[in-house]
Amino acid sequence: MAPLQGTVAAPSFDLGRRAPGTAAAASGLDAGGIASGGLKPRQWQRQMIDLMRRRLERAGAQGEDVLVHAGPGAGKTLGALLGFQRLLAEGLLSHFLVFCHRQSIASQWRSSAARLGLELRDLDLEAIAAGGDASSSEGSGGGGWSRMVPGQGLLISYQSAARHRLRLERELAGLQAGKVLAIADEVHHLGLDPDDPEATAWSHAFGCLSRGCVLRLGLSGTPFRADNLGFSASRRISRRQEGVIVEEIAPDLSVEPRQLIDQGDVRPLEFRFQDGWVDHGLASADGSLAAGELERSPLSAEHRETWRARNLRRAIRLGDPSSIALRVLLLARLKLETLRAADHPEAGGLVIARDIAHARGLTGLLEEQGDQVLLVHSQDPEAAQRLAAFRAGGADWLVSIDMCAEGFDAPRVRVVAYLTTVVTRSRFVQAITRAVRIDGQRAEQETIPRHPSYVYAPADPLLVSYARTWAVAEPYLIQPKPGLEEPAAAAGGRAPGLPLEALHDEAGEVIRLRGPQLPGFLQARQRA
């Protein structure tokens, strides 16, 4: 039963702790499915465990695949570990492998496993390079896996799996005799190319290393790709669309963000898209545009792809005469101030920038306003420390390029400013959903539905279209001729084309979206 609207309630999962010496704690999971860490699985997690059990009961020599689509904040990591723990107790599984692609994600897996009393070992890459033991256990030689007791797992990065595949295959040869679960986190990264299977090194390595596993569990909050490829641990369903046979990636279990919003597990999002006119032309000596050379294009109504992309590149520039990026940043900053002054003093903001130079410019603007800002990027050796500092409340804003999407968990984020030219649906959804998480303390203070978080961005047509559908699951169709479609269209559909006159009276305004709804001028056009 869904929670009553307007009630104060904890999330749909139980964060209570059991005394460590009790019989229930010692047994791993009690009759009600509560784990030794005191976690009661959410409803969808119980469904996943049942699904895994059914697949194991029918598993053949080649094993079984399960693809789970669960939005950010759903609890995919804990759900997978709770599933393993339950099926371990039932004798259906013995060990587990976890594959992931970011160190931040690996840290979450380690902490979640420890929370449940499971041992998850990292690989000793130096030992692998020397031909020794792959696990972090004592000793040398190739017996690391064989020495592991039931309930233990190995943590492997996709990068390491591809780089050391042959050595790892020898190390994990004992998997053939075991009941091993292979977990592929953010499985959409494991692209498959039927014309060249080895070209996608991560998926090839995962396929080889999980060959002896009885069950492969793929987890993703965004089960689609911009390159129109399929991916590992997923099944395809062929169907006819407009007279053409296409393949659909069909998750075995799908938990939509809107379901999590209704349950109070995550926050809803409200969008503020800054619209305006973008001028293109030759610059005069003083840096302004020559009037006779101007080409003007409306940001939200430009459906010609080359013009749309050009408009967005100009719109995010801090020095552009349209000032769209500056207005996005200032409005986002004002919203964060409002939230902090109201009832969430520890709230923070996240800015997604185009590149390092762009990020530094945005950081400087915020600092000029007196804000405390942390800048992180992949070339920063102290990035992990800065991320941890932000999570702990060490700054008002976090400015990043590519490190705060998948795997970044900071429930204090309430405002996102999206100022990059990356417009694939997966990257946009991953970025904006950094603001949907809610911790237990805040959950006890807020009613259901939870207080919203806010996303500010230029009114690019593709971004507007993704905002309308971010909370629902859309089918991922693999087109037979990907060259005929734009990559973004394969990932989530194209925005409808709009006439230039649509914004004559709204240029420069903020388009407000609250959930999957259309801006006013689009609604009027549909009624016409």
Does any domain span residue 10?
Answer: no
pLDDT band at 141 (very low <50, low <70, confident <90, very high): very low
Last residue of a domain, one of 232, 255, 278: 255
Q: How far apart are CA 386 and CA 229, in angstroms?
A: 35
Note the Cα 254 to chain centre separation in Å: 15
In a domain? residue 427: yes
- Predicted model pTM: 0.76
Query: Is a pLDDT exceeding 90 seen at residue 81?
Result: yes
Structure confidence at residue 239 as a pLDDT band (50, 70, 90): confident
Encoded amino acid at 468, one letter: R
Q: Give the pLDDT of residue 453.
A: 97
Within a domain: residue 460? yes
- Same domain? For 219 and 282 the reply is no
- Name, in order, each residue with C-beta under 8 angstroms of 125's C-beta and a sequence gap of 6 or more: 160, 164
Last residue of a domain, one of 205, 236, 255: 255
7 part of a folded domain: no
Q: What does the pLDDT average to over 274-301? A: 72
- Confidence check: pLDDT of 525 > 60: no
| pLDDT tens-digit map of 491-514 | 333 233 333 233 333 445 666 665
| pLDDT higher at 255 or 228 | 255
Inform me whether the pLDDT recorded for 197 exceeds 50.
Answer: yes
Q: How far is CA 160 from the centre of its chain?
A: 21
CATH no. for residue 357? 3.40.50.300
Least confident of 33-37, 181-185, 350-354: 33-37
- Full domain range(s) for residue 316: 264-472+483-527
- Rounded Cα–Cα distance for residues 358 and 432 (Å): 19
Element (H, E) at 224: none
pLDDT score for 57: 87
DSSP string covering 332-383, please? HHHHHHHHHHHT-TT-EEEEE-SSHHHHHHHHHHHHHTT--EEEE-TT-TTH
What pLDDT is attached to residue 88? 95
- Last residue of one domain, picked from the residues 208, 234, 255: 255
Report how far residue 162's alpha carbon sits from residue 190's, in angstroms, rounded to the nearest whole number.
11
Residues 207 and 275 in one domain: no
213 CB-side CA count, 13 A: 26
Mean pLDDT score, 260-278: 93
Residues 62 and 192 grouped into a single domain: yes
Residue 244 has pLDDT above 50, yes or no: yes
Which of 125-134, 195-204, 273-282 shows the lowest per-residue confidence on average (mean pLDDT)? 125-134
Q: What is the pLDDT of residues 332-366, one digit of tens each?
A: 999 999 999 999 999 999 999 999 999 999 999 99
Same domain, 396 and 511: yes
Tell me what pLDDT residue 319 has: 84
Residue 168 lies in a domain: yes
Mean pLDDT of 231-257: 83
**Looking at the structure, do residues 81 and 172 belong to the same domain, yes or no?**
yes
- Higher-confidence position of 510 and 246: 246
Beta pairing, strands 64-70 & 95-100: unpaired
Whether 370 and 519 share a structural domain: yes
**What distance lies between CA 281 and its chain's CA centroid?**
38
Q: What angle do CA 90, 63, 179 make, to 5 degrees?
A: 35
- Domain assignment present for 422: yes
At 519 the pLDDT is 41
Task: Give the count of domains, the chain.
Answer: 2
Q: Which of 166, 233, 234 is nearest to 205 (CA)?
A: 166
d(CA 252, CA 250): 6
Q: In this structure, what token pair is assigned to residue 376?
A: 């992180």
Q: Tokens 């909050």 map to which residue?
A: 221
For residues 319 and 357, state if they share a domain. Answer: yes
For residue 103, give the CATH number of its domain. Answer: 3.40.50.10810
Domain shared by 115 and 193, yes or no: yes
Confidence of residue 389 (pLDDT cuts 50, 70, 90): very high
Is residue 165 in some structural domain? yes
Q: What is the mean pLDDT of the chain?
A: 79
331 lies in the same domain as 292: yes
Residue 306 lies in a domain: yes
Is pLDDT of 213 > 80? Answer: yes
Q: Are 176 and 277 in a shared domain?
A: no
